[in-house]
Amino acid sequence: MTGAAKTFSVVDRIVTYQSQMPVTMAKIAAVLIADPRAPLALSITELAKRAGTSAATVTRFCRLIGYAGFSDLRVGIAEDVGRGGSQAAWIADIGRSFGPDDPPEDIRDALFNTHMLSLQTTAGLIDIPTAVRIAKAIVASRHLDVYGVGGSALTALETEARLYRIGIGVHAWSEIHDGLTSAAILDQHCVAIGISNTGRTEETIQMLAVAKAAGAYTVAITANPASPLAKLAHDVLIAASPNGYLQPADLSARHCQLFVVDLLYLLIAQLDYDRTTRLLAASGAAVAPRRRPFRRGAFSQSAAGLAVAERPKEPSSL
């Protein structure tokens, strides 16, 4: 997490995870957003007292936003002070919700900045050794189950489509009865991935729990590393989702989920390069006859024909 701490400010991280915090941690978040430099002058006990919580909760708060403990949090804040302006930049760029009277250009810019920040945060929070370990397990597995409900079901289907094309035996499940049935027949040679932005989707948690009980190696893709889904899984990959812009939240989370999925896809492709290139070539050859060949000048000719067809007719001479 050290590299991420150097790239993303403490306030950035707090705002990213604020909506997912329990009440006790949300009190700490409020103190630090109002006074980001407070930990530089306060001990962990003093900060806990100001927030009306305990030192143990401060430590859990630090871990939730990606720091090993209070000392690492203070280092991150000191680095932010050196860089300066992070909170002001957040407010200036994307620090407000969309309003009914916002100009379209402002909505476009705020939306772009929101997605950019979430992708940058996700990239910084991904633990590469964990991602490689997951990719290796998938390559070695006899079967991969991917569970997701609602918006995360779309990501599960994308995962299936990407990995099946390069030879991974994979199935995506969004209906809980079918998912539980599949999870129950997995074994130690299988991998199961649960995808949930909040990490609290009950159906996804149940499917992953059954897969784990059956002996499968389990993975959670979620924005909340302290969620029930994350705590259940053997390994976790974070797909960050900033709070307060798109509803439902899955709309803003999906780009980050797909970023994580694409990273796994490419790592898996590297690990089995020969099979990947052979299968991609075969699938490319299979669909090639279904594509219309490009003819030079076809577009310009069609456009010219359309222009002639749409040109108003001149009145005929009497």
Proportion of the chain above pLDDT 90, given as a percent: 45
98 burial via Cβ count (<10 Å: 0-12, 13-18, 19+): middle
Confidence at residue 219, expressed as pLDDT on a 0 to 100 scale: 98
Identify the CA nearest to 118 among candidates 244, 23, 3. Answer: 244
Mean pLDDT to the nearest integer, 244-251: 50
Calculate what percentage of the chain has a pLDDT beyond 70. Answer: 80
pLDDT for 86 equals: 47
Higher per-residue confidence, 134 vs 10: 134
Q: How far apart are CA 156 and CA 148, in angstroms?
A: 6
Q: Residue 201: pLDDT above 70?
A: yes
Q: What is the pLDDT of residues 57-102, one digit of tens each?
A: 999 999 888 888 898 888 888 877 766 544 444 444 444 455 566 7
Q: What's the mean per-residue pLDDT of the chain?
A: 83
Using one digit for the tens of pLDDT, what is the confidence trace for 181-195?
Answer: 999 999 999 999 999
Band (pLDDT 50/70/90 cuts) for residue 275 is confident
Residue 6, pLDDT score = 40
Q: Give me the residue label for tokens 């900060």.
A: 47
Residue whose structure tokens are 């079967």 = 143
| pLDDT score at 288 | 84
Whether 220 and 237 have beta carbons less than 8 Å apart is answered as yes
Q: Minimal CA–CA distance to 207: which of 179, 186, 185?
A: 179
Name the strands in the sheet holding 217-222, side by side, starting at the edge strand that comes first in the sequence: 170-173, 143-148, 190-195, 217-222, 235-238
CA distance 61 to 63: 5
Distance CA 224, CA 230 (A): 7
pLDDT at 308: 52
Answer with the residue of higher pLDDT: 223 or 210: 210
Which among 147, 207, 192 is positioned nearest to 174, based on CA atoms? 147
Task: Quote the pLDDT of residue 226.
Answer: 84
Q: What DSSP character marks residue 289?
A: G
Two structure tokens written together for 23? 């009440």
Question: Measuring CA to CA, which residue among 193, 157, 169 is closest to residue 279?
Answer: 169
